[in-house]
Structure 1
Amino acid sequence: MLTLNLAPIFKARGIDRPYSTLVKAGISRMSAGKILNGTTRVFRLDHIEIICTILHCEPNDLLQWKPSGQTNSTTHPLNNLKQTNISYNLKQTLATIPLKQLKEFDNIIAKQTEENS
C-alpha cells in the first residue's frame, strides 16, 4: 500500500507544528489535516510542490510503500519507496559525539554541499 510518510521528514527538519506550516504555506486547513492524518485520497501536484519546497525534499521522499502481498517481486520499482527507520534526533547526536568526530562530520557535510552545488 502506498502512503504518505511526512512525520519523519517534518521531525528531521525540526518542524514541530506541521499543520500550521502547511496552512501558512497556502494549503487549506481541510487539505492540511487530511494530508497529515493520512486520510487524503487525492494528492494534488501543487501540494506536492509546496511540501517539497518547505521540506527541501523530492516527491519520492513523501511516499512510503508497504507491500500488500500482491507484489512479491524484490525487483519491483515500488521497492524504492520502502522506508527505513532513521533516528532523526540529530541535535542530541551532535551534542554527545566527541569533538573530533564532530569535525569529521562537518567536513563530510561541507564536501557533500560542495558536490551538490
Structure 2
Amino acid sequence: MLSLNLTPIFKARGIDRPYTFLVKAGLSPHSANAILNSKTRIFRLDHIELLCRTLVCEPNDLVMFTADNDQHLSPDHPLNNLKQTDTATDMKETLATMPFKQLKEITKQINGMS
C-alpha cells in the first residue's frame, strides 16, 4: 500500500509545525490536515508539485510503500524502492550534539557542493 511519509522530510528540514508550513506554502487548511493525518486517498498533482518545490525533494521522497500481508512482490520489483527503512532524522538534534570540528568539516563539504 502506498502512503504519504512526510515526517522524515519535516524533521530533516527542521520544520517543527508542519500544518502551519503546509498552509503557508499554499495548501488549504483542509488539504493540509488531510495530508498530515494520512486521511487523503487522492493526492493531486499540483499538491505533489507544491510539496516538492517547498520541501526541495522529489515525488518518491513523499511516498512510502508497505506490502500488505497477502501481497508478494519479487525482490527486484520497482515498488520496493519506495520502502522506507531509515528512521526519521532530526537534523537539529544531530547538529546540536555533533562536535564543532565535525560541523566545520560538514560546512566545508556543503559549501564545496554548491
Q: Which band: TM-score by shorter chain?
A: 0.7 to 0.9
Q: Which stretch shows the higher mean deviation, 19-28 or 90-99?
A: 90-99
1:75 match: 76
Instruction: Tell which has more relative contact order, 1 or 2 (C-alpha 8 A, sep 6+).
Output: 2
Q: Which stretch shows the higher mean deviation, 64-73 or 74-83?
A: 64-73
Identity %: 60
TM-score by length of 2: 0.86
With over 3 angstroms needed to count, the CA separation of the structure-2 counterparts of 1:23 and 1:97, relative to structure 1, is closer
Q: CA deviation at 1:82?
A: 0.7
TM-score by length of 1: 0.84
CA distance in 1, matches of 2:25, 2:92: 26
Unaligned segments of structure 2, at least 5 residues = none
With over 3 angstroms needed to count, the CA separation of the structure-2 counterparts of 1:15 and 1:30, relative to structure 1, is same
Q: CA RMSD in A?
A: 1.7
CA distance in 2, matches of 1:16, 1:62: 17
CA distance in 2, matches of 1:57, 1:23: 18
CA distance in 1, matches of 2:96, 2:39: 37
Describe the superposition over 1:24-82 as per-residue Cα deviations: whole angstroms up to 9, x where unpaired.
Answer: 22211111111111110110000001111111110000000011141331100001101
Please tell me whether residue 44 in structure 1 is matched to residue 44 in structure 2: yes
- Name the aligned partner's letter for residue 102 of structure 1: L
Unaligned segments of structure 1, at least 5 residues = none
Secondary structure (helix, strand or coil) at the match of 2:42 reads: coil
Q: CA deviation at 1:87?
A: 4.6
